[in-house]
Structure 1
């Protein structure tokens, strides 16, 4: 450094500028241990996310009644709902939860957040009920550490075409998840049906933008296959508008992938000529 100068005599080339994130979601660090009766009202939400641990055998809790599948009203028991969704085994485990923020159009009109109705479902050991007219926010989750979760997760699915739909993903059963990597500005490409939970023929990257998981520059999102829904409800969030649609035998949610999940993602296989 030159004498009497506060500036170096050569440019800094060692450290690139950090890449700005494409969303305003912040990953929670603290873990909250739940009881089988805990609902979304008991969660210490960090923004609109929470990392939680469920005990074993919440399907045996007689006081817990789960509502909905894939997306649940805030008053629905967390751990039992996750068992119904098949994202959590009966032995319990750790999950990342996302609380659905009020849709902008609903806020403007003074309508409650969440879905107009919730579709019930079942797994091999637990069931949930359907409900209509439940006011308030909603939640959904995906596993981050369970006994049946593979140490190495599948490679990310790189989306080449904004019109690519959820039903093209390699997700065979309910509860399966994969990380997608979206290009930017996919809003308006193809079809988008649903709010918080989307139809199989919806454009996955457009859905991720609508759910505010990624921004217009693209990015990564965790996609989880869910049980079928009786109906999909459209909404407007900013410039992203989805439509109503009849039910289907599968549905999909999108969420922010955590750093530990990204670290366990397998590298794509290389092909040699």
Structure 2
């Protein structure tokens, strides 16, 4: 006769991978087997633990390997479903508070930062923040569980579900996978169902219909009614190749439920969390010139005040605007300078960088009268040059402010005759200007002149 063991399992919101390392204890093994079975579609009341083994149908012993094989993903569009309940409009800032144990796992901890940034980059009507912090209108605890999966719950009473559980086995996976899993679990807390809830074999390789589960499975308008592997962060199961990035239908679904139609405030994003994701671009908005510290020129440390850096690099005026931040590798040194009323600092080696550009194409350089900027030394302006066919220029590297900017830019080696975007920095007048020939452009010498500029990329 089998000695039955009572085993309580929270509803797993899945993301279980079939090739994780084996847990070290019998309890860890059984917990992962049960999680895998739930993910594969077996009802909880059909699972039991007896004599240290996990059974389904009372007499079918399921080994750890067999349970993992049930979760192998296969290739088969993206859809999004929500629960009946959503987070109410009274919730504006959700604070995710990791436990002390959670913070001892570096990949989990960094993954949490990236997941929070994932949501904040979408400019939703609610923001996420890592706690402890102030101003929270709702709180979620991030804690650990055994295995390589995760679990959470759905909103109730207008509040997000209060806990996400993240498997410690994920600490051996990539940062992108951790970002994916935590983003997924937070998605459940604000009301997202699995995108393949009706047929979990799509992403898991096996498993059936989760059904309504008493919380609803409502198709979100604008998203297709089918699902594919990799089609959504909210797929039931994940792969080891996940990037942790939203798909197009994820973005549609987020915007439908919680969007404002805008972009996130740059101040709400933690760009340090994007280290290593070189080339990743994030749009965000600045209400004006930031007041924080900035290190570098054109390439800045990733802990710099982005809005102040954006004004410094001439991506936006001091009145603000929308910028495109690009994640860059760390540099061995950063050089400070003064531009546009912003003084940046120099620094040595730092592990992460960013550059900033305007999301609006710069105006044609011919539309500017640079002589009108005399005395505004250090002011920098970005403008674009079409194909360069000629123009009169006085000076070398430092040019008179009535010189043809695009011709000067070719002379300085900043662009080719095919044109491009340049940065013009206003300089003081000089006592004399020396002409030269470079890059097919011959400039002229001149005496004293009241205003100058330099040209850089």
Larger Rg: 2
Structure with bigger RCO (C-alpha 8 Å, 6+ apart): 1
TM-score in terms of structure 1 length: 0.38
Write 1 or 2 for the structure with the bigger share of helix: 2
TM-score in terms of structure 2 length: 0.24
